[in-house]
């Protein structure tokens, strides 16, 4: 899977660390409000100062936590480190699913694990 349908860049900004608490730390990305991506979960490739990584990207509201404003966050597979303040370039490769509201954090964590498995399976 080498082609992408959207490419953008943004700065990594601090979030609320919910991804860390769920076992799936994410980069929260600051980008313009309307940058041309429909809400959903996507396979992505992320170029960082520390290398290029596959990612599970979420764009949309986080209504499970009562947040209606859309945001962009991406879990980098096989990454450990800190990229706060760094600029990253993201290639959106394929949509996995629509955004959903989950009844609790445990259900969300299970879905994120399935999303990460889907990213790995689609890119092999």
φ, ψ of residue 17 to 5 degrees: the values are 65, 25
* Contact of 55 with 90, CB cutoff 8 Å: yes
Q: What is the pLDDT of residue 17?
A: 73
**Predicted TM-score of the model (pTM):** 0.87
Confidence of residue 1 (pLDDT cuts 50, 70, 90): low
On the question of pLDDT at 114 being above 70, the answer is yes
pLDDT tens digits, one per residue of 29-41: 987 666 688 889 9
Q: What is the pLDDT of residue 6?
A: 87
Q: What is the pLDDT of residue 32?
A: 67
For residue 24, the cross-strand partners are none
Please give the radius of gyration of the chain, using alpha carbons only, rounded to the nearest integer. 13
pLDDT tens digits, one per residue of 61-87: 777 666 678 889 999 999 999 999 999
On the question of pLDDT at 124 being above 90, the answer is no
Name all domains of the chain by residue range, CATH numbers in brackets: 6-123 (2.40.30.30)
56-60, 79-83, 100-104: least confidently modelled range: 100-104
Q: Tokens 């809400």 map to which residue?
A: 39
Residue by residue, DSSP assigns 26-86 as -EEEE--S--S--SEEEEEEEEETTEEEEEEEEEEEEGGGTEEEEEEEEEETT--S--TT-
On the question of pLDDT at 48 being above 90, the answer is yes
Largest CA distance in the chain: 37
The closest alpha carbon to 8, from 118, 78, 89, belongs to 89
19 vs 54 pLDDT, higher one: 54
């Amino acid at each position: 899977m080498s082609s992408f349908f959207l490419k953008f860049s943004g700065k990594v900004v601090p979030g609320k660390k919910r991804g860390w608490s769920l076992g799936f730390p994410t980069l929260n990305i600051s980008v313009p409000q309307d940058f041309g991506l429909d809400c959903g979960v996507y396979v992505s490739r992320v170029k960082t100062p520390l290398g290029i990584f596959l990612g599970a990207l979420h764009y949309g509201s986080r209504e499970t936590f009562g947040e209606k404003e859309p945001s962009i966050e991406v879990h980098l597979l096989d990454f450990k480190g800190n990229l706060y303040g760094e600029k990253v370039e993201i290639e959106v490769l394929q949509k996995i699913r629509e955004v959903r509201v989950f009844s609790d954090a445990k259900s969300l964590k299970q879905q994120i694990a399935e999303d990460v498995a889907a990213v790995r399976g689609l890119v092999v």
